Amino acid sequence: MNASPADQRRLLDIADLDARIGQAERTRAQPPQAARVKELLAQRQTYNQQLAQLLGARDDARTELARIEADVAVVQARSDRDAQRLTTSANAKEAQGLEHEIASLGKRRSALEDAELEVMEKLERADAEVAAQEALIAETNAEGSRLSDEAKAVVAEATARLDEAARDRAAIVGELPAELVAMYDRIAARSAVGAALLRRGTCEGCRMVLSGTDRQAIRDTPADTVVTCPECGCILERTEESGL
């Protein structure tokens, strides 16, 4: 295919814009914050599961404490009743029985109060563990929210770059021969790089050094003839730095 050297060099501008478009598309699809946000989502799920267990343990402690407090109330009420009966009893045997029962109830109440203290301490620890876990979740949510906002800004910026590059590309394409652009597009779709400089005998598309035979063949090719890299197939742009 023949094309003026000037038109061929414009392909380098298209290649540069295509690289920018590709980078912007990758950034839109996977902003830098995405991996960390994914980690945070997994962490939050784990933290929420742990919180559910801690809340369950705290509820159990509260239930146990309520049961003990109810038992203490029952024992206290019975002890108060016996004490009241004792003050009005005229029967020595009955009084002795009441005194014995009051003493037993006192021991029972003391044991219940000891158990109550233990459960209250357990509940205090459970409250602290729940609070710490909730703080951890809040911290995770805050980081996730911040990174999500940053990701949205990055995506918006990448979209703006993509739109600008696409407009610039369309403008250049409109000024070039359709056959030349079609050839470039076919090569770019196949090898990712549609055109590159030949600099000091090296293709900057694939970074391969051309053999002496290949360089000689390119040297003998007219400037208005489109040549391609024998290694990667991209269109080679010849300049004074090509080393021919």
Q: What is the mean pLDDT of residues 57-64?
A: 96
Contact of 162 with 25, CB cutoff 8 Å: yes
In this prediction, residue 56 carries a pLDDT of 97
Q: How far apart are CA 221 and CA 116, in angstroms?
A: 98
What does pTM read for this prediction? 0.71
Tell me the domains of the chain and their CATH numbers.
5-26+177-238 (no CATH), 31-156 (1.10.287.1490)
Q: How far apart are CA 138 and CA 44, in angstroms?
A: 9
C-alpha atoms less than 13 angstroms from C-alpha of 33 in its C-beta half-sphere: 16
Phi, psi of 33 (to 5 degrees): -80, -10
State the maximum Cα–Cα separation within the chain, in Å, rounded to a whole number. Answer: 136
Contact of 218 with 236, CB cutoff 8 Å: yes
Condensed to tens digits (0 to 9), the pLDDT of residues 173-216 reads: 999 999 999 999 999 998 889 999 999 999 999 999 999 999 99
Q: How far apart are CA 107 and CA 138, in angstroms?
A: 46
